[in-house]
Amino acid sequence: MAFIFSDSPSAPRSMSDSQVEEELTNFQQHLTSSLSASPNDPVVLGTYASFLTTVPSKFTTACTNYESCLKACIDPATKEVSEIYSTPFATFSGMYASFLLGSASGSSTAIKEQADGLFSKALAVEPGNPLLFGDYATYLHRHKKDYAAADAAYRKHLGDFPGHSSIWTKYGNFLKSVKRDVAGAENAYRTAVKRSPLNADCLSSYAVFCHGTKGDHDAAESLYERAYAADPGHVNNLSNYGLFLSEIKCDFQRAEYMYQTAMSVDPAHPNSMYNYAVLCDSGLGKQAEAEELYRQCLETSPNHAFALYNLAVLVEERRGHTETGRQEADELFKSAVTVSKNDAVTIADYGRFKLVCCKEIDQAEQLLKQARNIDPSCIVACYNLGMLYYNCKDDKKTAEECFRDAIKADPDHGETWRYLGRIMADKGDAGNADKFYKKALERAKDAEAAAQIRKEMEGAGKKRRGSK
């Protein structure tokens, strides 16, 4: 398959960055001229506001223009929405509400109440508006968490407007993430692509489904490519395609290109920054760049749980030997746990940090137990709790229980087998000690680790011979 940026004549052609910028500049000039000519036209005001939503630095100006748009739809005599402007009022109210909910403050109570009010007024004016109803169904799904109402809204909208590909895509997302209906979701995505075969959003959403849910990587790659050809500036597709290239294809160079392109289109897109940070951190070995990207992500999205967690681990690795580094990592771990109260791995790793880096045994034990209660198969919790009981509390019986739980979670965890070998040697169980040490040796990460295991095995053997 020819890649998009290949020199091959068969590769899809797209506009250059300068051509895209020129098109956007011309469109903005057209909107500005229209606004100057008709400063009170709701359609012009709403269209200009929608254009401004694509520019992160124009958040306030976009809101001002949306407010002016809705105000211009009101009949001064009746103080109600003018009949001739009912459609623009309903359409732009829904778009304004969705814009607010998608902003950095979208999770705040005030924004949710404002969005709810906008949807209520719009539905009262024009309940059958296709664009409004699609935004409303997504609002019920993603923000209000009223899944029964969302399902009914999606179904009604698709019954009234079966050709609306965007809602087919959103309904596919709903069926996938909420109802766990894989077959129904795929049917919705396929229908969306069939209705709009050049719609980058539809193609990209289907690609994500094939990538993450279905595991059909060939189909996913084809769909990502089609979405990229249809819209080279589609930020979500660029970010998701970059993740696919990194995670599945191990093509770090092209993945980096996708992330850099996404950030050039939208410098404040948190998932692009986060995914690029992960690539720099784990794939490219650029830890300084990764740290900066995690920080940029958190400036835009302060409660990004994975960014908080990964940055905590990175700071620990880079500066955990210093008091300042430990304090910073501790605060990041604490924030990550606050955001992810039920994430066993995050809590367990905070416990590991408290144990290994801070030597705060009681706090470490509390955190590790909390993580193990949430997920008894969490290997980070089981292994480190075993370490704590073995090394810090001399409670080998409880340590053995924890290590055995860790082995159930991951039979290939070599260090766990090693500690079980130690415990068996301490108990004088020569047969199991040899058995567990051999399992540890089979799973040794490198020659140094293998040499250490052999040394322990030899020491355990001498101890047994001396005791006879």
- Give the residue from 434, 398, 429 showing the smallest Cα distance to 417: 434
How many angstroms separate the CA atoms of 385 and 287, rounded?
29
How many angstroms separate the CA atoms of 101 and 111, rounded?
7
Residue with tokens 């398959």: 1
Residue with tokens 């053997």: 461
Instruction: Give me the long-range contacts of 137-140 (CB less than 8 A, separation at least 24).
Output: 137/167, 137/170, 137/171, 137/174, 138/98, 138/170, 139/97, 139/98, 139/101, 139/115
- pLDDT value at residue 14: 39
DSSP 57: G
- pLDDT value at residue 18: 52
pLDDT (tens, 9 = 90+) of the chain, 468 residues, equals: 222 222 222 223 334 455 445 555 666 677 677 767 777 888 889 888 888 887 767 889 989 999 999 999 999 999 999 999 999 999 999 999 988 988 777 778 898 899 999 999 999 998 878 778 788 888 899 888 999 999 999 998 898 888 889 899 999 999 999 999 999 999 999 999 999 999 999 999 999 999 999 999 999 999 999 999 999 999 999 999 999 999 999 999 999 999 999 999 888 888 999 999 999 999 999 999 999 999 999 998 888 999 999 999 999 999 999 999 999 999 999 999 999 989 999 999 999 999 999 999 999 999 999 999 999 999 999 999 999 999 999 999 999 999 999 999 999 999 999 999 999 999 999 899 999 999 999 998 889 888 888 988 887 765 544 443
Bridge partners (DSSP) of residue 81 are: 74
- pLDDT value at residue 121: 94
Domains of the chain: residue spans and CATH = 25-132 (1.25.40), 303-410 (1.25.40.10), 414-468 (no CATH)
- pLDDT value at residue 461: 62
CA dist 5 to 10, 194, 314, Å? 11, 26, 33
- pLDDT value at residue 281: 94
